[in-house]
Amino acid sequence: MSLLTVGSVAFDAIETPFGKTDKIIGGAGTYIALAASFYNNKQNIVSVVGEDFPEEMLNQLKNRNVNLEGLQIKKGEKTFFWSGKYHNDMNSRDTLVTELNVLEHFNPTIPDSYQGCDYLMLGNLSPQVQRQVIERLTVRPKLIAMDTMNFWMDIAMDDLKETLKLIDVLIINDEEARQLSNEYALVKAAKVIRAMGPKYLIIKKGEHGALLFHGDHMFFAPALPLEEVFDPTGAGDTFAGGFMGYIASTQDISFESMKRAIINGSALASFCVEEFGTERLMNITKKDLEERIEEFVALTNFDMVQVIS
């Protein structure tokens, strides 16, 4: 079915303990669309780039059945650029450069051909832009998922809370959940956040896996323990893209289906961190993904025969 992704298509420059890159392709929208392309969906993207963005990458997305009609290319302007340096533990990073460029005055436009899309993934952007997209859709999608970050909690909390009322699934990390809820324990944080609107909450804990909360239900999926995390950039967006790509292709928004979607997102994210940027995602096959999902099953599967007597 049709999945609409809204998110940045951008340049990153990354430094990790293992090396550093020049400007490479990044952006939440890019990672989400790439991850979702492993499933059988009609994909649309709403985003903006400058005229400096390489046509080759746009063709790669087209080849993966991503419709780029909603991707604005601003003549005479430059693409969003972020540069960061990861610390030795790979869990924290310093932002070195943020050049908003085309994102500064981004006004999302929804082509007619996108109207009626079934599933919507709002990548991390200003909550105002995220809300504009929802408002500009003539029919509400069956499921709206969204990412956000501490930055918007610091400078636009009211706006963020308005947008949270309109969505179904919030996908954030543990630090963000703590800041948004003012609660340290994630079980308590989840209650507070779900009272803000989202019926489903996914809290990503990086190398420690992810939790899904809905009603009285809770599901936990581990991250795959890896020998080496080469570059964590984009792992969260890849997770979200895998999650929504799976949901859209199955058209099943039950809790059981969401569990499987989280395993799919986790599996794709485990590839993402193996090389710089989008490199690994561009080179894996559906078979690679299936094999990795088998690893997740082996990692977590147990058969409880209780023998307390």
Contact residues for its own copies (CB under 8 A)? 38-40, 89, 184-188, 205, 208-209, 211, 217-222, 225-229, 246, 249-250, 256, 259-260, 263, 286, 289-290, 293, 297-300, 302-309
Q: Give ∠ CA 32-167-257 in degrees, rounded to 5.
A: 65
Phi, psi of 156 (to 5 degrees): -150, 45
- Using DSSP's 3-state secondary structure scheme, residue 111 falls into coil
Smallest gap from residue 37 Cβ to its own copies (A): 11
| Region for residue 142 given its phi and psi (left: phi exceeds 0; alpha: psi -120 to 50; beta: otherwise) | alpha
| Residue 81 or 213 having the CB closest to its own copies | 213
Decide if 188 contacts 181 (C-beta within 8 A): yes
- The least CB distance from residue 163 to its own copies, in Å, is 26
Q: Report the distance separating Cα 34 and Cα 237, nearest Å.
A: 10
- CB nearer to its own copies: pick between 96 and 299: 299
Q: How far is the CB of 290 from its own copies (least distance, A)?
A: 6
CB of 112 to its own copies, least distance (A): 28
Please, what is the minimum distance in Å from the beta carbon of residue 85 to its own copies?
A: 18
Helices (H), 123-217: 127-136, 150-155, 157-164, 174-181, 186-194
Our CB check for its own copies shows the closer of 91 and 95 to be: 91
C-alpha distances in angstroms, 266 versus 104, 121, 144, 248? 31, 17, 19, 17
Q: Nearest 5 degrees, angle CA 114-CA 115-CA 117?
A: 75
Instruction: Using the minimum distance from each CB to its own copies, give the nearer residue, 159 or 274.
Output: 274
Enumerate the β-bridge partners of residue 84.
14, 95
Q: Which helix (H) or strand (E) holds 200?
A: strand 200-204
Q: How far is the CB of 298 from its own copies (least distance, A)?
A: 8
Partners of 146 in the β-ladder: 122, 170
Taking the least distance from each CB to its own copies, the nearer of 107 and 306 is 306
Q: How far is the CB of 65 from its own copies (least distance, A)?
A: 13
- Nearest CB to its own copies, comparing residues 135 and 227: 227
Choice between 140 and 208, CB closer to its own copies: 208
Whole-angstrom distance, CA of residue 133 vs CA of residue 120? 9
